[in-house]
Structure 1
């Protein structure tokens, strides 16, 4: 009953939509409630996890082991189903993120991680994204593969898929961005089977010949009618680098100040040796030798006595004057 209600709800709201987001399947509800249903053998095969995530707080971890066949059909699978019911002539942008586990199997056979399946009973889906060996591929009706890229494990791949749904090869088209870069220019081809509608499935669906366990993560699915509604916003501009401060000019070195203790006159100075006739403190000064001056006078009034040279000169003039007075007498 839940499946029929989901179909009815999608039919009522399907068809060309106004600009904006039409549907979200980003798991931010913390469960599968955004989807119409699930095809899984056990709940842990389609677990909503908090790590790793491509954005927000939650992502889907899809696990497939050999023998997982919940609908008794070809291949092994565990997938979520969204009954999007794309109409002929409708045009949408789809954006989602996928990460393959580090031990994701490398086999030369198909491993579908996202598909738009027809509502008929048999045959390959008209649009499918899958891994073959070490390549990711996009294949459409009549086995046309317009895009391939190397498989990289352990990193998030972001896809933006632009589609016009039509069974006519000259009316339908596809366009693809991978990790923010245009990977496939608009290519005109059939995107539906005649007389059938399509709906979206994601998780993991693969050949039943694969023995190894496969794990793939999905996150952030958005369906919209305009590219700007699904493309991530550009990263904020990087802050301008801070300018290195200009180096300050070197400061001149100031020699240390040496404190010289004050001394009284004559203190701390070495005694000067004097020779006869040399005045202390006046090197090379010789006392004049004047006739008539005895050694006694020289020792009493010489340059080494208090008064210095001026006193000796006055005394000499006095003696000369006395001699003149004696001659006058």
Structure 2
């Protein structure tokens, strides 16, 4: 029983190793240096710097710089490159993934400028597979200097170019092929062609190698290099988009609006009955003339008081004479004088009483 458990534990421990065996090699600079690569061809360490300010993934990337006259191996052109001795055998198939960015100030030149290549083990000549810039265009060439260029794209400085390349290595043009994805899209379906020279094995070179007539200094950035045997290790399978749940169409019952019939309001005109004001009969006020009582005057024997009214006064006026019967006006004046005197005395008496209070 114990032996069985130990065997099961060994199997479980070996599973991650088997799963990661599809990735043959990484040159993504996540070590913080260039130790993942076999060696370099450069005139100074400053020409191949591992940097952190411009990266595509992770924390580190490579900045390769070339100045006019940089010739570390005494060959044609100027260069500063890293090498990995991959030694792909004829008939083998691999996937390669990496990203390259040309800064916005990258010089435009009619001369060739190689930034990634698979070089033959032999001495000289153009490699069987290379990516290079000429003018403002990126080219991929297969089969050496006279080989076809099956794919190009605009240089597009200041942005990352993501490459995934599948290669079947063979010197037989009917066996070997290339297939390329650029920025996540398949831009070159399987293209047959010779990817090796005879029996010579290849090795990878990454950096910048350019025609020696180009004078301006130039830099290029590389990041995330992976070599694998399985496409899933360089192109993660796309997560399928879940199908949207079927939606039951909602049937909207049209709302029938019953038109409201407005009954016109008939306004009954108000007939105003004119108010007839019957004037109240006014009873003429008959002013009764004041009755003045005249005391009997002594010596006349005739009651001079009698009743005096307007008619009497009128008659008195009419019969004003010196006869015995014409004493009436005199008596009236005498009576008025007496009345005035009496009223005056009463007023004086009232004032005197008021002052005493």
Tell me if 1:158 matches 2:162. Answer: yes
Alignment partner of 2:22 out of 4, 20, 23: 20
Q: What pairs with 1:140-289 in structure 2 (closer than 5 Å)?
A: 140-141=142-143, 142-232=146-236, 234=238
- Mapped partners of 1:98, 1:145: distance in 2: 19
Determine if contact 1:31/1:48 at 8 Å carries over to the other structure.
Answer: yes
Q: Which residue of 118, 134, 147 corresponds with 1:132?
A: 134
Write out aligned runs for 1:58-73 (5 A): 58-73=60-75
Task: Return closer, same or farther for 1:42/1:21 CA change in 2, 3 Å cut-off.
Answer: same
The answer (yes or no) to whether the contact 1:65–1:214 under 8 Å persists in 2 is yes
| Residues 168/23 of structure 1: CA separation in 2 closer, same or farther (3 Å cut) | same
Work out whether residues 118 and 197 of structure 1, in 8 Å CA contact, stay in contact via their aligned partners in 2.
yes
- How far off its partner does 1:63 sit? 0.2
Structure 2 length as normaliser, TM-score? Answer: 0.61
- Per-residue Cα deviation, 1:150-205 (whole angstroms, up to 9, x for no partner): 11001010000000000000000000000000010101110000021100000000
In 1: Cα distance, 2:164 partner to 2:177 partner: 14
Question: Is this contact kept in 2: 1:19–1:226, CA < 8 A?
Answer: no
Any idea what the Cα deviations from partners look like across 1:43-72, whole Å, max 9, x if unmatched? 010000001100000000000001000011
Residue number in structure 1 paired with 2:338: none
Aligned-partner SS, 1:44: helix
| Corresponding residue number in structure 2 for 1:103 | 105
Describe the SS at the equivalent of 1:202. Answer: strand
**Pick from 80, 83, 86: which aligns with 1:84?**
86
Deviation beyond 4 Å, 4+ runs, structure 1: 232-237
How far apart are the structure 2 equivalents of 1:20 and 1:103?
A: 38
The gaps in structure 2 that reach 5 residues or longer are: 1-18, 242-357
Q: d(CA) in 2 for partners of 1:55 and 1:68?
A: 29
Higher RCO, Cα 8 Å, sep 6+? 1
User: CA 1:93–1:155 in 2, change beyond 3 Å: closer, same or farther?
Assistant: same
The Cα offsets for residues 184-228 of structure 1, whole Å up to 9 and x where unpaired, read as 010111000002110000000000000011110000001111111
In 2 relative to 1, CA 233–104 (structure 1 residues): closer, same or farther, beyond 3 Å? farther
Deviation at 1:21, TM superposition (A): 1.0
Once the two structures are TM-superposed, the CA of residue 101 in structure 1 deviates from its matched residue by 1.3
Q: Report the aligned-residue RMSD.
A: 2.6
In structure 2, what is the Cα distance between the partners aligned to 1:73 and 1:236? 51
Unaligned stretches of 5+ residues in structure 1: 1-16, 238-329
Residues 232 and 109 (structure 1), Cα distance of their counterparts in 2 relative to 1, 3 Å cut: farther
Corresponding residue SS for 1:144: coil
Q: Please tell me whether the aligned partners of residues 90 and 199 of structure 2 are also in contact (alpha carbons under 8 angstroms).
A: no
After superposition, what is the alpha-carbon deviation per residue over 1:130-153, rounded to whole angstroms, capped at 9, x for unaligned? Answer: 001010000011421000001100
Is the 1:204–1:216 contact (alpha carbons within 8 Å) kept by the matching residues of 2? yes
Whether the 8 Å CA contact 1:23–1:223 is kept in 2: the answer is yes
| Residues 232/42 of structure 1: CA separation in 2 closer, same or farther (3 Å cut) | farther
- Which of 15, 18, 30 matches 2:32? 30
How many residues are matched?
Answer: 232
Larger radius of gyration: 2
Q: Within 1, Cα distance between the matches of 2:187 and 2:122?
A: 30
